[in-house]
Amino acid sequence: MVSIKDIEEAAERLSSISIRTPLLQNFELDEAAGGKVLIKPECLQITGSFKIRGAYNRLRQMSPEQASNGVVAWSSGNHAQGVAAAGAMLGIGTTIVMPDDAPRAKLANTRQLGGEVVLYDRYTGDREAIAKKIAAERDAALVPSYDHEHIIAGQGTIGLELADDALELGLTPDQVLIPCGGGGLSSGTAVALKSRLPNVEIYAVEPADFDDTARSFAIGRRVRIAESARSICDALQTPMPGELTFAINRKLLNAVLTVSDDEVRAAIRFAFKNLKLVVEPGGAVALAAILSGKLATAGKTTAIVLSGGNIDLDLFAEIQAEPN
């Protein structure tokens, strides 16, 4: 299990690297929730998502021998950019296996940051198998997108910041909502939150059609969703929870909530109109859960993580043009 000490050490490594994103408040959102909402906007983070935290924490702890042949990762886009950026900072070569239908912005940004991109078909290929084959051929180190202690600890620094800043504001959260794909963000953040706020309730939020963590919670073991599953939330299209992440989430989360693609689209419009923030689909699920009433928020203080803002311009324009 990842400890609070692991997360605190990750925070020290990241102190001059990642942005300490603020906790924001918004009148319209408070009104919609019937309580206070604290917003952690990781869409303002380096590379546009929280992923630099875990990627840098992983690469920073590699020995020169481990890093000498570069690293290989697999990602739908945000982890790819985080790994590429961390590699550029540390002088480590990076190769990332990415789906050929990943948002163009994520593909372009990964390449611009110096990452070598290897494309595959999301629905017929096995990205992890492809990455492991490349790593074996090059004797390179693997950088998983979520199921690794260093990755989880890096993502957990969000929980430290959120808890400490909320306490400084005098607004102790009753509950925190966190986007969930493979579970690295939710598990690491949960460890940190529980160390600072033992009584806080923590909820992961998934797309309704990629509800692998919710299904796994229901039966008490990891399960894989159907290959036919589709969602607008490209960053959260993980077919099964990670082994490490599920063990932590099962212990610390209160429940797993799900939101539809239409609810996510509405949240993206709300964020742009009222929060003046650009949020990608996967990054908007916690906000969507509040706006669609998936959890009681009246009279409570609720914190949410907006995990990323890397959305293609065409999709963003299409969503904004839709009726509310």
What's residue 122's pLDDT? 83
pLDDT attached to residue 324: 74
Q: Can you list the domains of the chain with their CATH numbers?
A: 4-50+149-321 (3.40.50.1100), 52-143 (3.40.50.1100)
User: Is 212 within 8 Å of 237 (Cβ atoms)?
Assistant: no
- What mean pLDDT value characterizes the chain? 96
Task: Determine the pLDDT at residue 78.
Answer: 94
Cβ(97)–Cβ(72) under 8 Å?
A: yes
DSSP sequence for 162-216:
HHHHHHHHT---SEEEEE-SSSHHHHHHHHHHHHH-TT-EEEEEEEGGG-HHHHH
Asked if residues 235 and 282 have their Cβ atoms less than 8 Å apart, the reply is: yes
pLDDT range class, residue 1, cuts 50, 70, 90: confident
Question: Positive or negative CA dihedral for 213, 215, 221, 222?
Answer: negative
Confidence of residue 125 (pLDDT cuts 50, 70, 90): confident
- Span 149-159, average pLDDT: 98
Bigger pLDDT: 227 vs 8? 8
Q: For residue range 32-69, list pLDDT tens digits in order.
A: 999 999 999 999 999 999 999 999 999 999 999 999 99
Q: What is the pLDDT of residue 161?
A: 98
User: pTM (2 decimals)?
Assistant: 0.96
Mean pLDDT of 271-297: 98
What's the average model confidence in pLDDT over 120-145?
92
